[in-house]
Structure 1
Amino acid sequence: MATTESVEVASDEKDSGVINNVASKLDLKTLDGGIILIPQPSSDPRDPLNWPFSKKVTIVSTLFLALFTGFSAPFCGQLNIQQQAALYGKTAVQITYFNSAASAGLATGGYVWWPLSKKFGRSSVIFWTLFGQLAAQIWAPLMTGHGQYAPYLVSRYFSAFFGVTVSILGPRYLVDMFFLHQRGRAFTVLHLALNFGASAGPTFAGFVAANAYWPVEYWWSVALTGFTIVIVFLFLEETTYDRKDGAINRTKPDSWVKDRWETFFPGTKVASPTPWAHVAQIAITPFKIAIAPVLLIIAGFDTISFGFYVALNALTPVWLQLPVKAGGIYGFTVTQSAAFTFVHWIGFVVGLLYGHFFSDRIPLWVVVRNKGVWKPEYRLHVLWPTNFILMPLGLGLVGIAMQYRLHWAVMAIAQLFVTIGSLVSIPVTVNYICECFRTHTVEATLVLNSMRLFLGLSINFYINPWIGAVGVGWVYGMMAFFSVFAFMFLIALMIWGHRIREMTPFRTSDSEEGQHVLAERQNHGF
């Protein structure tokens, strides 16, 4: 239950190193534990910050399902590559180009769906893009002709093009519904669906098609997408709310049917009337944000850390299934490859638990030692154990296992470490960027999403020349060193984050930097 108490807001810029225009005592709503609610909620029950926790959980669960569906569908055929290689007359590595086609769809779709969401509402865009993904999932298993390799790749592009929507628009729901001290856990839960979907899709498909012809592996995804459409229609709600004085916000109609109609069909009832000319201007905004140094630094880190995870997922089935007589190490069957992906599931559980217990607690622990004043960079300290230690160690172990032909258990442990690092890093960096660009959350997320996919998009095309130049062991060994180098970007932000954000073309005051997160004279045990 929230209480109201008077707190002193730090205004000494020299002491705190932050901007703070508040010089007097304010009455701010806090939790009983002394954590100040940021942003301050209004007294309106329509304000998403005031919604019951059960309602927030329902919306996050719906977004989780939609995001899981969106990222599992494009990668369904990741394991059954030998049958496809024989059908299309391609090599196993060439078949993995569909991962690059899917990554291209993930990197580009948001640039269409974000501006349209301003015209029709976020929920409506999520709902209708699921129909596009449904069509793409039906398209793929019908491409069984010898000359239909290219159309098959195109189907994977469009499956991802439509499936990326929630990863772009979803973070805004979280920022609308949750307070600053809750967002770490909320982002961890939602982005679990992203990594889990990309891994579980191949797992399910591998077991379904282990003893059958490959097209059958897509039909379970068709059913899941149809089910997700129904769930989104029943439970997803728009969270847009303007807290400025005098703002006019939508009142939900008493009729549930009318509310669903206004949310998903005309669309403009839940979004501010936006002329098409303004939609075009909105579409340009992400390209302006893309030149912000803080975003480029985070994107550089994500491009390396997440890109190597995508590359590892795409290429591991090739290494596992390559026959021993052809120079392979393990000679796994499709079923064995599908079982191997449960390593990623274990990594997701570990990463989820870590994020749940530490993604908010560590930043608050740092806040206590910095006079209770918030800086977005405190979020990044969560990544020290997972991305400075575990991820480089995991990539190095992959290289050692491949170079010295070690037991598959070594490869499994390595994949576990990389998975944990990837799962933890995405929600933390997305949350950080959202807090740096509070009034441009979706645009910043869109740019970050696109940039981090570039490496995963391209690596399949040059992995063989890279291996030929340095050997497979050193390919992954170099990845390990590159991931350590990428973490140096985060260290730079931890030290000079405020100055770097000052160089952005958008105002630093869009962030929540400088706000007092903790009431004074409280005993905080983080």
Structure 2
Amino acid sequence: MDSTELMDSKEQTYVEPSSAAASKNHDGHLVLIPQPSTHPRDPLNWSSRQKYVILAVLCLASFAGAIAPLSGQLNLGQQEMIYHKTKIQESYANSAALAGMAAGPFFFAPIAHILGRSSVIFWCILFTLVCQVWGAVMTHPNDYIPYVMSRLFAGFFGAVPTVLGPRIVTDLLFLHQRGRAFTALHMSFLFGTIAGPTFSGFISAGAFFPVEFWWTVGLLGFTLICCFAFLEETGFNRESLHKNPEIPRSLVANRFATFFFGHSVVQPTTLSETVRIGITPFLIGICPVTIIMGIFTLISFGFYVGVNALTPVFLQKPVAEGGYGFSLEQNAAFTFSHWIGIIVVQFFGHYLNDKIPLALARRWNGGVWKPEYRLHVLWLPSLVINPIGLGIFGAAMQYHLHYMVLALGVFLVTVGSLSSVPVTVNYVVESFTKYPAEAGIVIGAYRIVYGLTITFYINPWVAAVGVGWVYGMMAFFAVFSFFFVMLLMWKGHMIRGIQFAHLASSEEGKKVLDD
């Protein structure tokens, strides 16, 4: 159903396909925020089918882009023998991939303003494919450094669809639809970080390790085709309609204009504007609201990255050395504990990440919106589930409990940590609505930085206090980090006001529910 068919021209309220159900659930109609224009090229006026096809392709691109850099995470044994490195040294390739994921978006965000969001996503997927071929041919004993560099650049290009995705989501969807969309987008990316090692582990268990990269080439090729066929440039100026460039209508001309001459389908930009966009993530990063949410994200999600990155090392370590002696196939099967956790997060996030904030807006503020309402989704996963999971994981490692106890800890950490990702990104994006991609880049960098560095100091930490207390301390730190979220729940409006004036933009105070 086209969104223009759902609008009343005077009231500008949104009626769900089942208007009776909407009235029952929300005690009134949902107000369209932001207000769409009357122009058919306005992405807010596109049909629901077109919007969700684009969202599905974005999710596929995020999934494939996350699979690629981490696809060699589990098969450490063969690489250890070929490159003559320890398992910890082999895990540095994963750190390189995470470093690329953190750095790449800062580079491509301004380029997307010049060439278009869809064009940049298309070319980044293509370059990620090239990096997978590069990694697959690094089979000589002297290829360790080039292999690590291939993981760095695979992450550099592969993370781009996920960080440009928030810009496209805010272009396409109204406020009351974004929670589910952010959940789908970020769970696709995070699922890719797990599915890549799982599939690669099973595929390469009885073969030479480069096959763990070759299969991803086919997936990335399919993703390229989907991007070329379905992605559209979503940038649109609703305030000055005459500034929007003409888009070719014929299929072939439209596709070439979008992906090979992307500058022709976006508004012209100057070098100074591009530089300003380039430094915007850094300016957003030093705003108090971003720092406070970033500290929570760094701790809460960072521990999950640390658990995920180091679990293969512990599982494949011989029993005599304190590990579990898992084979590659057993390690790959163990990762299904992550899969189950991600499925749980997706299921509950789909139903709760919009409904809880809307219900709070109706109950506490007469239907008037505050971005802080989104944070109340985090009470159970971040304050309860995540610390308990870290404690169980640490106890299992300390006392060498059955691997199913370890799997339970991993499952709980997965649910607790990943539940926070779409919520925190959505909150920061809605604190800087003019710069959603740049805000997403900053919060994404906070997410990755802890997991990026943990492999370099985890062994001295374990040697100092024991593996049980390492993760026990993480559990206490996770509880402590939630106080930053509580601070934003309490004083978020005031804290968001302390920022650079030209960045300030939110949808607070708008009536999202109309009785």
The normalised TM-score by structure 2 is 0.94
Give how far 1:507 is off: 5.6
Equivalences for residues 307-456 of structure 1 within 5 A? 307-328=302-323, 330-369=324-363, 370-456=365-451
- Aligned to 1:76, the other structure's residue is in SS state coil
For 1:380 and 1:198, the matched residues in 2 are separated by 25
Q: 1:5 to 1:516 in 2, by over 3 A?
A: farther
Distance in 1, matches of 2:504 and 2:298, equals 27
Q: Decide whether the 8 Å contact of 1:123 with 1:238 is kept in 2.
A: yes
Give the AA of the match of 2:422.
P
What is the CA distance between 1:485 and its match in structure 2?
1.0
> 2:237 aligns to what SS in structure 1?
coil
Q: Which stretch of structure 1 is more off in the superposition, 180-189 or 270-279?
A: 270-279
More helix by share: 2
Q: Where do residues 69-148 of structure 1 align in structure 2 (5 Å cutoff)?
A: 69-148=64-143
> Is 1:511 the equivalent of 2:506?
yes
How far 1:431 moved relative to its partner?
0.7
Q: Is the 8 A contact 1:435 1:511 kept in 2?
A: yes
The residue number in structure 2 matching 1:12 is: none
Q: CA RMSD in A?
A: 1.5
Tell me how far apart the structure 1 counterparts of residues 48 and 404 of structure 2 sit (CA, whole Å).
Answer: 42
Structure 1 position 127, deviation (Å): 0.8
Query: Does the 8 Å CA contact 1:501/1:508 hold for their aligned counterparts?
Result: no
Answer with 121-130 or 270-279: which moved more.
270-279
Give 1:277 deviation, angstroms: 3.8
Whether contact under 8 Å (2:391, 2:471) holds in the other structure is yes
Relative to structure 1, the CA distance from residue 245 to residue 29 in structure 2 (aligned partners, 3 Å threshold; closer, same or farther) is farther
Q: Which of residues 46, 58, 78 in structure 1 aligns to 2:53? A: 58
What does residue 289 of structure 2 align with? 294
Range 499-508 or range 151-160, more displaced: 499-508
One-letter amino acid of the counterpart of residue 12, structure 2: L
Between the aligned partners of 1:508 and 1:232, the Cα distance in structure 2 is 31
**Deviation, structure 1 residue 2:** 3.3
Deviation of 1:280 after TM superposition, in Å, equals 2.2
Contact 2:497 2:504 in 1 (8 A): no
2:195 pairs with one of 197, 200, 203? 200
Distance in 1 (CA, whole Å) between partners of 2:286 and 2:322 is 46
Q: Is it true that 1:2 corresponds to 2:3 in the alignment?
A: no
Q: Alpha-carbon deviations, 1:41-96, whole Å to 9, x = none?
A: 22222211121111111101111111111111000111111121122121111111
Q: What TM-score, normalized to structure 1?
A: 0.92
Runs ≥4 residues deviating over 3 A: 1-6, 245-248, 506-509
Q: Aligned equivalents of 2:389 and 2:481: distance in 1?
A: 15
> Structure 2 residue aligned with 1:264, among 259, 264, 273?
259
The aligned residue for residue 14 of structure 2 is 30
124-133 vs 458-467, which deviates more? 124-133
Q: 1:5, 1:30 within 8 Å by CA — same for their partners in 2?
A: no
Deviation at residue 423 of structure 1 after TM alignment: 2.4
2:292 is matched by which residue type in structure 1? I
Query: What is the distance in 1 between the residues matched to 2:154 and 2:174?
Result: 33
Q: Which amino acid aligns with 1:2?
A: L
Q: How far off its partner does 1:453 sit?
A: 1.1
> May I ask how many residue pairs the two structures share in their alignment?
499
The answer to whether the 8 A contact 2:248-2:257 is kept is: no
Alignment of 1:41 with 2:36, yes or no, is: yes
Alignment partner, residue 477 of structure 2: 482
- Post-superposition offset of 1:141: 1.8
Aligned identity (percent) is: 51
Partner Cα separation in structure 2 for residue 173 and residue 422 of structure 1:
25
Following superposition, the deviation at residue 506 of structure 1 comes to: 3.5
AA partner of residue 327 (structure 2) = T
Over 3 Å counting, the alpha-carbon distance change for 1:337 and 1:274 in structure 2 is: same
Q: Secondary structure at the match of 2:12?
A: strand
Task: Kindly indicate whether residue 194 of structure 2 is the aligned counterpart of residue 236 of structure 1.
Answer: no
Unaligned 5+ residue runs, structure 1?
A: 7-26, 521-526
Residue type of the partner of 1:437?
Answer: F
Contact 2:62 2:159 in 1 (8 A): yes
- Give the whole-Å Cα distance in 1 for the aligned partners of 2:511 and 2:9: 13
